[in-house]
Amino acid sequence: MSSADTRIGLVVRGHGRHYLIEDEDGVRVHCLTRGKKSDCVVGDRVRWKRSSDHEGVIESVEPRRNLLFRQDEWKTKSFAANLDRLLILVAVDPQFSESQLTRALIAAESAGIAAEIILNKTDLPGANAARERLAPYRAMGISVLELSLKGQKDASRAALSPLLEGQATLVLGPSGTGKSTLINLLIPDAQAQVGEISHALNSGRHTTTTTQWYWIDSERKSALLDSPGFQEFGLRQISAPNLASYMADFKPYLGDCRFHNCSHRHEPGCAVLTALEAGKISPSRYRIYDELWNELSSPPKY
């Protein structure tokens, strides 16, 4: 086949070298990559060509607008590419990890992806305590949307729909927060889609370990992406000296320190430490910054 036979497709699911590509007409085709290694992720636009009536081969990946990923000492795990928005789902119960929330926000900021927080299960006791923990994030300008996805389905759907319109939105959150409830609320046939795609890729065992692309509307303008769960969220792609620049509550004070290479940890004349003492930066946020600095400045353990 000549290069003229290649066409553009959207990666909607992948496992190993096997991908499901959606063409410009909405038809989905099982494709393989050339070679053993693949750099494709869900959300990628790829050039591919048919190899048979039912399968194709991915030739190349088109340039990305962005890529959301996490990186620890041993490996890099990509969530998705070409995103417009990240929704970080936390809940009143189980109690969310502020460290994991901060890490996800930093990863989004470093990738240039708009991020918002959803607080679910606000009908449960403990909602006020969860709101207090999220107060610093509201104060730094991050949107926090409160929902009760199971108890107030219509209201939740009405609040979410305009937020997602015309966007490719990834939902990120630990197990137990209501991620599946949110997906099924907006995409009633989500489970059927998972089954169909798993059958196409012969990867039913892996349905919870890879990102899944869903269209919310029949016009294929608005998409919701369900991400795999995770226990850790490494940020090894970020250097310790650059960490503060990805934290919205630190940003207003950067450049005002006495030393241009200030670490914002112990130096005299540090504007960040002054803001902390004045109550403009929350102690919990600063503690997370200090932990991340130590993590990112330490040599890998491998």
Task: Enumerate the known binding-site residues for GTP.
Answer: 120-123, 173-181
Distances (CA, A) of 35 to 3, 5, 103, 172: 19, 20, 33, 31
Distances (CA, A) of 66 to 106, 157, 240: 14, 27, 21
Which residues are known binding-site members for Zn(2+)? 257, 262, 264, 270
Q: C-alpha angle with apex 43: 39 to 47, nearest 5 degrees?
A: 60
Q: Are 117 and 145 in contact (CB under 8 A)?
A: yes
What's the token pair of residue 118? 């959803």
Q: Are 204 and 259 in contact (CB under 8 A)?
A: no
Half-sphere exposure of residue 282: CA atoms within 13 angstroms, side-chain side: 17
Q: Are 223 and 193 in contact (CB under 8 A)?
A: no
Q: Are 169 and 224 in contact (CB under 8 A)?
A: yes
Which residues are known binding-site members? 120-123, 173-181, 257, 262, 264, 270
Distance CA 280, CA 288 (A): 15
Q: Are 177 and 120 in contact (CB under 8 A)?
A: yes
What's the token pair of residue 59? 């030739």
Which helix (H) or strand (E) segment holds residue 103: the answer is: helix 98-111
Q: Are 80 and 63 in contact (CB under 8 A)?
A: no
